[in-house]
Structure 1
Amino acid sequence: MLDLDFFIVASIILIIAAFVHGSIGFGFALIPTPIIAIFTDIQTAILLTLIPTLIVNLVSFLSEGNILEGFKKHMPLALLTMLGSAIGTQLLIMSNSEVFKLLLAFTILIYLFINKVNISISIFRIYPKSSFIVYSVLTGVIGGLTNVMGPLLMMYGIELKYTKAELIQAMNISFLFGKIIQIVVFFINGSFTSEHLSFSFLAIFIISFALYFGIKLKKRIDTKVYLKVIRVVLFIISLVLIAQVIV
Structure 2
Amino acid sequence: MTLAVLLVLIPAIVLFPGTSREALTEGLNEGFTMAHLMAFVAIALVAAAVKGLSGFGYALIATPLAAVLIDPSVAVIVLAVPALVMNLFQVGETGTGWQYLRQHWSLVAAALVGSVIGVFILKNFPAKQLLGVIIGVVLVSYVIWSVARKGRPATGTAHPVSLGAVGVAEGVLLGAVNMGPLLPAYLHTFERDARRYIGGMSLVFTLVFAERIGQMSVNGLMTAQLLWLGSVIALVTLVGLAAGTALRRWGRINPSVFSALVLTLLGATGVTMLVKAVPHFL
TM normalised by structure 1 equals: 0.89
Q: What per-residue deviation string (whole Å, max 9, x for no partner) do you get for residues 163-215 of structure 1?
A: 33322222211111111111011111111223212211111221222211211
Counterpart of 1:171 in structure 2 is: 201
Counterpart of 2:254 in structure 1 is: 222
In structure 1, distance between residues paired with 2:74 and 2:220: 13
In structure 2, distance between residues paired with 1:79 and 1:57: 17
1:4 aligns with 2:34: yes
Instruction: Decide which structure has the larger Cα Rg and report it.
Output: 2
Farther-moved stretch of structure 1 (28-37 vs 68-77): 68-77
CA RMSD of aligned residues (A): 2.3
In structure 1, distance between residues paired with 2:162 and 2:265: 33
In structure 2, distance between residues paired with 1:182 and 1:49: 11
Relative to structure 1, the CA distance from residue 128 to residue 204 in structure 2 (aligned partners, 3 Å threshold; closer, same or farther) is: closer
In structure 2, distance between residues paired with 1:5 and 1:17: 18
In structure 1, distance between residues paired with 2:88 and 2:157: 33
Counterpart of 1:113 in structure 2 is: 144
The answer to whether the Cα contact below 8 Å between 1:139 and 1:153 also exists between their aligned partners in 2 is yes
In structure 2, distance between residues paired with 1:39 and 1:5: 10
Unmatched 5+ stretches in structure 2: 1-23, 26-32
Q: Secondary structure in 2 aligned to 1:175?
A: helix
1:199 aligns with 2:229: yes
Seq. identity, %: 22
Counterpart of 1:231 in structure 2 is: 263
Amino acid at match of 1:106: V
Match of 1:134 among 158, 162, 165: 165
Cα offset, 1:119, TM superposition: 7.0
1:246 aligns with 2:278: yes
Q: Secondary structure in 1 aligned to 2:253?
A: coil
In structure 2, distance between residues paired with 1:67 and 1:185: 24
Q: What per-residue deviation string (whole Å, max 9, x for no partner) do you get for residues 65-88 of structure 1?
A: 253423333343122111101111
TM normalised by structure 2 equals: 0.79
In structure 2, distance between residues paired with 1:127 and 1:78: 13
Q: Secondary structure in 2 aligned to 1:221?
A: coil
Match of 1:81 among 101, 108, 111: 111
In structure 2, distance between residues paired with 1:38 and 1:171: 27
In structure 2, distance between residues paired with 1:76 and 1:21: 25
Cα offset, 1:224, TM superposition: 3.0
In structure 2, distance between residues paired with 1:30 and 1:181: 20
Q: Secondary structure in 2 aligned to 1:44?
A: helix
1:27 aligns with 2:57: yes
The answer to whether the Cα contact below 8 Å between 1:79 and 1:174 also exists between their aligned partners in 2 is no
In structure 1, distance between residues paired with 2:157 and 2:179: 27
In structure 2, distance between residues paired with 1:126 and 1:54: 27
The answer to whether the Cα contact below 8 Å between 2:131 and 2:177 also exists between their aligned partners in 1 is yes
The answer to whether the Cα contact below 8 Å between 1:38 and 1:240 also exists between their aligned partners in 2 is no
Relative to structure 1, the CA distance from residue 136 to residue 231 in structure 2 (aligned partners, 3 Å threshold; closer, same or farther) is: same
In structure 2, distance between residues paired with 1:221 and 1:160: 23
Cα offset, 1:132, TM superposition: 3.1
Unmatched 5+ stretches in structure 1: none
In structure 2, distance between residues paired with 1:128 and 1:221: 33
The answer to whether the Cα contact below 8 Å between 2:107 and 2:167 also exists between their aligned partners in 1 is yes
The answer to whether the Cα contact below 8 Å between 1:119 and 1:155 also exists between their aligned partners in 2 is no
In structure 1, distance between residues paired with 2:99 and 2:159: 21
Q: What per-residue deviation string (whole Å, max 9, x for no partner) do you get for residues 110-163 of structure 1?
A: 22122212379xxx95994444323321221122111111x2113321333453
